[in-house]
A and B are shown apart, each in its own frame.
Chain A
Amino acid sequence: AQDDSTKDEL
């Protein structure tokens, strides 16, 4: 699942 650390990637 989308862990938070890649969430901020564009």
Chain B
Amino acid sequence: MNIFRFAGDMTHLVSVLLLLLKIYATKSCSGISLKTQELYALVFLTRYLDLFTDFISIYNTVMKVIFITSSLAIVWCMRAHPTVRRSYDRDQDTFRHHFLVLLSFIMALFFPDLFTTREVLWAFSIYLEAVAILPQLVLLQRCRNVDNLTTHYIFFLGSYRALYVLNWIYRYFTEKHAGRWISWISGLVQTVLYLDFFYYYFISWKSSEKLRLPA
């Protein structure tokens, strides 16, 4: 494990903690896309199938359990928690995320590493994660006043995969490890989708104003 990989995992963990903090502290999920949260829950459920079959390390198991349980807890909160669910912008969160699931599944059927159930589902989770943030970014453009915790959550969520890309670059040059092209391409696409947000996040940080995405 290299520093980029560890920093990526910690950044991902911080993004989850920020979202849980926002929902717990404000008892509200305003500005959060339920659809993105559902897509992420699906990403973790299909990627960590080996949770009970292959033990890799304590760290690996603990992180997988954290990501699966937190994503399911957030989806449950936004759907069923009596207080939180009232603040969900149902009429603003209208991205057709079912198409993202269908598209990713078709991609996984055509382009898996190996044509086995596990590998197809793994490829599906990688392709789906690359586009899972789209409903959230669209919602962010529609909601004018988004609280800082939400923007920090999105910033850390976008940064984690960028750090993974650095991890693959680092391993390519130091371990001559080519990595997996599915991870490379999806990780790059995922990070590129955030570039626009990163730009406005940086601008808002420099001018210490609230983050505003152009309409």
Contacts and interface: CB of A to CB of B under 8 A. Distances in A.
Interface in A1-10: 1-2, 5-10
B56 A6 contact: no
Contact of A9 (B54, B67, B164): B164
Contact of B183 (A1, A6, A8): A6
Nearest to A8: B56
A8 to B, nearest CB: 5
A7 B180 contact: no
B38 interface: no
Does more than half of chain A's interface fall in helix, strand or loop, or is it mixed? loop
Contact of A2 (B5, B63, B67, B113): B113
A10 B164 CA distance: 10
A2 B180 contact: yes
Interface string B110-121: 000110000100
Nearest to B116: A1
B177 A8 contact: no
B179 A6 contact: yes
B54 to A, nearest CB: 7
B35 interface: no
Nearest to A6: B180
Contacts of B177: 5
Contacts of B180: 2, 6
B113 A10 contact: no
13 contacts: A1-B113, A1-B114, A1-B119, A2-B113, A2-B114, A2-B122, A5-B171, A6-B183, A7-B56, A9-B5, A9-B164, A10-B12, A10-B64
Shortest Cβ-Cβ A-B pairs, 10 listed: A8-B56, A1-B114, A8-B60, A10-B63, A6-B180, A10-B9, A1-B113, A5-B177, A7-B56, A2-B113
